[in-house]
């Protein structure tokens, strides 16, 4: 990733951290990602934890395994994996604010010896070859300009037989009407994204990197309540953010993000995006 693009991602997450930690998640979940809703799910924080359970089960994470949390956000999934699976987790992010937040959260737990956080680009990490049993990524691979670069690095740092698990958002098609594509672009710009893949492109990149047993499932229905909740928050907050930004009391980055949340709700409603989980294995 180019330094200028990394800086735009860093600025986006540094500026919006307080919004996410205050209005989107709680001290238990510490999640920037959507939740996975099933019958009996009580609230979005439980759904966020359930997303961790779903991914951990699909990746078959075992005690003492080494896990790379690629794009760890505030560290919630890393801490969950250490506490609930007994894994040793290395969380990486390009956001200094997120890394500092995650380290503070880890120090408040009794599993801080099983987690660590550092500032790294997941397409070019400092880890030796064949370091990890699992590479885990929730809603972070979308930020790679070329998703193939992420898959290549994940393949390198995984041990033979290691597993990859990714949950993320995708564009449904490359063949959109101009108006739909403009709406998609407005959303992408507001969230500091260059572009997102179609599921077919994403699967093809995983296979081209050398992964086998590549499986993709569309999970748009279980995450929809989280998207509805995001819309509920942004619908009333975006106009307020615009006003505060206009008088110099709020970063324009936050305001653009709030309006992008509204765009995301609309493009989801139109079926222009979907949400999926990909699992894969590095051959032995």
pLDDT tens column, 211-270: 999 999 999 999 999 999 999 989 999 999 999 999 999 999 999 999 999 999 999 999
Distance CA 103, CA 261 (A): 28
Task: Please report the pLDDT score of residue 246 as a whole number.
Answer: 92
Q: What is the pTM of this model?
A: 0.96
As given in the structure block, the two tokens for residue 96 are 């200094």
Instruction: Decide if pLDDT at 2 tops 90.
Output: no
For the domain covering 3-175+192-220+273-281, report its CATH number.
Answer: 3.40.50.150
Mean pLDDT on 53-69: 97
pLDDT band at 93 (very low <50, low <70, confident <90, very high): very high
Task: Please report the pLDDT score of residue 129 as a whole number.
Answer: 98
pLDDT band at 40 (very low <50, low <70, confident <90, very high): confident
Instruction: Decide if pLDDT at 28 tops 90.
Output: no
Distance CA 250, CA 50 (A): 33
Distance CA 63, CA 227 (A): 33
Task: Please report the pLDDT score of residue 8 as a whole number.
Answer: 95
* Mean per-residue pLDDT of the chain: 95
At 281, which helix (H) or strand (E)? Answer: strand 273-281
pLDDT in tens, 196-212: 999 999 999 999 999 99
Task: Please report the pLDDT score of residue 1 as a whole number.
Answer: 81
Task: Please report the pLDDT score of residue 27 as a whole number.
Answer: 84
On the 0-12 / 13-18 / 19+ scale of CB atoms within 10 A, 4 is exposed
pLDDT in tens, 123-133: 999 999 999 99
pLDDT band at 23 (very low <50, low <70, confident <90, very high): confident
- Higher local confidence (pLDDT), 1 or 5: 5
Task: Please report the pLDDT score of residue 99 as a whole number.
Answer: 96
Q: Lay out the sheet containing 132-138: strands in order across.
A: 115-119, 88-93, 66-70, 132-138, 158-171, 273-281, 212-218
Mean pLDDT on 46-57: 96
Mean pLDDT on 99-113: 94
Mean pLDDT on 152-164: 98
Task: Please report the pLDDT score of residue 182 as a whole number.
Answer: 95
């Amino acid at each position: 990733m180019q330094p200028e693009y990394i800086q735009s991602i860093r600025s986006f997450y540094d500026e919006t951290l307080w919004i996410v930690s205050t209005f989107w998640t709680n001290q238990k979940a510490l999640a920037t990602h959507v939740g996975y809703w099933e019958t009996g799910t009580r609230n979005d924080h439980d759904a966020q934890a359930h997303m961790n359970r779903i991914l951990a089960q699909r990746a078959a994470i075992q005690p003492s395994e080494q896990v790379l949390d690629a794009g760890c956000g505030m560290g919630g999934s890393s801490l969950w994996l250490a506490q609930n699976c007994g894994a040793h987790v290395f969380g990486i992010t390009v956001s200094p604010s997120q890394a500092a937040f995650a380290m503070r959260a880890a120090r408040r737990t009794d599993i801080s010896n099983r987690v660590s956080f550092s500032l790294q680009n997941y397409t070019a990490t400092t880890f030796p070859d064949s370091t990890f049993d699992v590479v885990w990524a929730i809603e972070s691979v979308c930020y790679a300009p070329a998703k193939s670069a992420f898959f290549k690095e994940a393949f390198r740092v995984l041990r033979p037989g290691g597993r990859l698990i990714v949950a993320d958002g995708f564009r449904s098609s490359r063949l959109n009407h101009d108006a739909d594509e403009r709406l998609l672009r407005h959303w992408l710009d507001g969230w500091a994204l260059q572009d997102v893949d179609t599921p077919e492109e994403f699967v093809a990149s995983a296979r081209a990197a050398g992964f086998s047993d590549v499986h993709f499932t569309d999970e748009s229905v279980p995450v929809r309540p989280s998207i509805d909740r995001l819309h509920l928050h942004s619908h009333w907050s975006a106009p307020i953010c615009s006003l505060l930004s206009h008088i110099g009391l709020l970063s324009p980055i936050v305001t653009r993000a709030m309006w992008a949340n509204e765009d995301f709700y609309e493009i989801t409603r139109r079926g222009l995006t979907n949400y999926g989980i990909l699992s894969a294995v590095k051959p032995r």
